[in-house]
Amino acid sequence: MLGESGENKVIAIYEKYHILTDFFKEIAGVSEVIAEKDACRMEHIISSETFEGIKRYMERNK
C-alpha cells in the first residue's frame, strides 16, 4: 500500500498523463495512440513550468 506521499505522486503522474494526452490530441492533432505513447514518455521528464503552462492553456480553452 502506498503512503500519502506515494499517492500524491501517483495522482500527479495521472494528471500529467491525461492533460498531455489531451493536449497532443486536441492541439497538436496527433492520433490517440501516439498521444498516449508520447504523454507516457514526457510525463516523467517535462518541467513543472512547462507542464503548468500546458495545464493553464488547456483549462482556458476547454
The pLDDT tens digits for 43-61 are 999 999 999 999 999 999 9
Provide the domain count of the chain: 1
DSSP assignment letter at 43: T
Question: How many H-runs (helices) and E-runs (strands) does the chain carry?
Answer: 3, 0
- The residue segments making up the domain with residue 33 are 4-60
Q: What is the CATH number of the domain that holds 55?
A: 1.10.60
Instruction: For the chain, give the mean pLDDT.
Output: 94
pLDDT tens by residue, 23-45: 999 999 999 999 999 999 999 99
Per-residue model confidence (pLDDT) at position 3: 84
Per-residue model confidence (pLDDT) at position 16: 96
Query: Of 61, 23, 17, 55, nearest to 39 (Cα)?
Result: 17
Instruction: Kindly report the number of other CB atoms within 10 A of residue 56's CB atom.
Output: 10
Torsion angle of C-alpha atoms 11, 38, 46, 2, degrees rounded to 10: 20
